[in-house]
Amino acid sequence: MKRGVLVAGSANLDFVVRAPHVPAPGETVLGNGFATFPGGKGANQAVACVRAGGAPTRMLLALGDDVHAAPIEASLRGAGVGLDIVRMRGTATGVAFVCLAGDGENAITVAPGANARLLPEHLPPLADVGHLLLQLETPLPTVEAWAREARRAGVQVALNAAPAQALPRSLLGDCQLLIVNEGELAAISGRQGIGAGLDALDAPAVVVTLGARGCCARVGGEYLLQPGFAVNAVDTTGAGDTFCGTLVASLSLGLPYPAALRHACAASALACTRLGAQTGVPRQDEVRRLLAARPGDATEALAAYVGIA
Ligand code: ADP
């Protein structure tokens, strides 16, 4: 079995301001701390794949020719992600402006820069790739072309359909695994309710993350529930990315879905206890320790919330 994971997607530098609350439209809030962190859904998920998930991981990304590119590259290399970098001359590196509120909530604005110029032909050879992990922070026609090519090459395609947008049926048809949060599920399925949303999407496996509650999934005709791990959340930025990267890494290493979902929930819970999207991704041994300390959780409350018996 080919075990390598290729993540193809976005890489940004995150400019993070801590503030008492997320500003409402038109409001200015005085923050109380500023830092930059490497981010972008693709890069965050690649770091999660290799660090929390322990899978050999490469990433296809685009960087501009400005000062924001170097910290992104250094973070990915430092984590042990192999890189296929497309360098875009005369283009800004992607950036994100993150407001992080005291209660762990956030609001994010992204300027995609070089990410928006990724093209179908940038996909590297897939010879050693078992799983391709995609998001929607790169142009949709490019994502569609990558998924199509990977599927033709026998690669398992996983799509984190975030940020939410309408998806062509053909793209869903090329994906073996779709990962969404509750808002994305409603937007993409057009259905009210988690059970109805899960059933409306054609992909063989659909996973819905439910914040602190954990996650649920439909794999084939079977429904799976994984309660969240209770933690003291200080920064939920990148929780979903840690979940996606750890899930795909776990699957690529041969774990069955129930165990892979448990790993992903544990890793993403730990990520919430630390600042920064990539800096917050835990190591694999930390994930294992949490899993060992928490052998099983009751699923009744989650089942009632999801509406699946
Ligand atoms: P997104 O950040 O993409 O909206 P979620 O909020 O659903 O995604 O979070 C993704 C995963 O992160 C959840 O399935 C859960 O495992 C974990 N998670 C998120 N928030 C918390 C929290 N407060 N406590 C524990 N785990 C959390």
Peptide bond into 163 cis (omega under 30): yes
Q: 101 CA to middle of ligand 1, Å? A: 16
Is residue 246 lining ligand 1, measured as CB closer than 6 Å? no
What residue has token string 């690529």? 252
Domain 40-92+116-306: CATH superfamily is Ribokinase (3.40.1190.20)
pLDDT on residue 294: 79
Q: Side-chain half-sphere of 106: how many Cα atoms within 13 Å?
A: 25
Q: What would the mean pLDDT of 188-202 be, rounded to a whole number?
A: 91
Q: What is the residue with the minimal CA distance to atom 5 of ligand 1?
A: 211
pLDDT one-digit tens code per residue, 152-177? 999 999 999 999 998 998 999 999 99
pTM (2 d.p.):
0.94
Which residues share a beta bridge with 57? 5
pLDDT one-digit tens code per residue, 99-157? 988 876 788 898 999 999 999 999 999 999 999 999 999 999 999 999 999 999 999 99
Give percent above pLDDT 90 in the chain.
Answer: 83
pLDDT band at 236 (very low <50, low <70, confident <90, very high): confident
Domain ranges of the chain: 40-92+116-306
pLDDT on residue 98: 87
Q: CA 110, 217, 79, 289 torsion: positive or negative?
A: positive
> Does residue 1 carry a pLDDT above 70?
no
The Cβ of residue 204 has, within 10 Å, a number of other Cβ atoms equal to 12
